């Protein structure tokens, strides 16, 4: 097959995947990357389309419960903010976070998670959240300065629109953007960057994803975390596995690393700057 045929096949595959209701709002750049891999691996076009959708489900779709209903959630958030009661706002934020498996799993540890990981890193006036999911809803738990900026990236346009609308209600400068971080890693200079439970997910598409992101992100501190249970709830020695994996990824660096184990998550504080 000529290169031109390959290209038009890839365009057809991207179009076909993007017409499916489940994937139409996903970053076309990511569909393109996965589609290209699957076209070379699979026996025919139909199998490549199916495999691309499966991979998108594994790395993104599987985390959402499909009941996010962003316009309703936004109204609830607005009402909670208007009460001026921080407890009410946190309750609504928790409800929103329960729609994404990754943040849902963090809810039982939320009160300790950010206070433990961030208290020694203050003042924090900028955060970068890579493959954020609904984690920006945890902003009320973060020890941020009053003029803080929050940059958030993920691949679903409706989620990104919702996060922008939500952050505009908060007393911070927030900016969410749809982006395939594998093709274009954000490089804003920040105090703290979150790579929460993201490395294993992105390494399913690109083996070097973790290695590259850790080096490209321009932050004083990185907070990198890993799940300790799989999505299905099974613990398969993940704590040891991911500890070894992270240390391998950092082998050729002089960065200071400190770990914290929570009931549902293994986290690392990495100091990138020497001063
Ligand atoms: C395991 S979840 C982690 C979510 C969030 N960091 C947290 O811990 O709550 C992985 C997230 O990565 C996002 N994602 C997958 N591939 C991506 C890519 N290439 N670029 C940006 N985000 C991606 C998914 O949509 C999903 O929200």
* Residue 144, H or E segment: strand 144-154
Report how far ligand 1's centroid is from the alpha carbon of 119 (Å): 25
Predicted confidence at residue 274, as pLDDT, reads 63
- Within 6 A (CB) of ligand 1 lie 30, 59-60, 63, 102-103, 131-133, 135, 153-155, 180-182, 196-198, 201-202
Q: Alpha-carbon torsion 83, 84, 86, 87, what sign?
A: negative
Give the global pTM: 0.95
Predicted confidence at residue 165, as pLDDT, reads 98
The 8-class DSSP code of residue 231 comes to: T
Q: Is the pLDDT of residue 231 over 80?
A: no
Q: Helix, strand, or coil here: 147?
A: strand
Locate 211 and state its tokens: 């290695």
pLDDT, tens only, 68-103: 999 999 999 999 999 999 999 999 999 999 999 999
Q: Is the pLDDT of residue 43 over 60?
A: yes
């Amino acid at each position: 097959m000529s290169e031109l045929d390959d290209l038009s096949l890839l365009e057809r595959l991207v179009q076909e995947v993007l017409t499916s209701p489940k994937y139409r709002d996903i970053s076309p750049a990511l569909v393109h990357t996965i589609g290209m891999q699957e076209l070379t691996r699979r026996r025919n076009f139909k199998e490549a389309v199916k495999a691309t959708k499966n991979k998108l489900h594994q790395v993104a779709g599987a985390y959402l419960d499909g009941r996010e209903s962003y316009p309703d959630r936004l109204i609830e958030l607005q009402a909670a903010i208007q009460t001026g009661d921080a407890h009410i706002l946190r309750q609504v934020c928790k409800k929103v976070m329960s729609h994404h498996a990754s943040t849902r799993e963090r809810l039982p540890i939320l009160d300790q998670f950010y206070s433990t990981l961030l208290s020694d890193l203050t003042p924090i006036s900028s955060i970068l959240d890579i493959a954020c999911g609904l984690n920006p809803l945890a902003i009320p738990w973060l020890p941020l300065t009053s003029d803080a900026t929050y940059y958030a990236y993920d691949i679903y346009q409706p989620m990104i629109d919702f996060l922008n609308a939500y952050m505009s209600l908060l007393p911070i400068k927030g900016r969410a953007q749809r982006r395939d971080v594998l093709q274009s890693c954000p490089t804003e200079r920040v105090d703290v960057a979150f790579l929460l439970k993201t490395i294993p997910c992105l390494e399913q598409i690109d083996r070097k994803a973790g290695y590259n992101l850790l080096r490209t992100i321009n932050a004083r501190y990185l907070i990198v975390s890993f799940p300790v249970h799989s999505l299905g709830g099974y613990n398969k020695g993940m704590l040891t596995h991911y500890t070894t994996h992270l240390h391998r990824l950092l082998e050729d660096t002089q960065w200071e690393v400190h770990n914290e184990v929570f009931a549902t998550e293994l986290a690392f504080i990495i100091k990138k700057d020497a001063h």
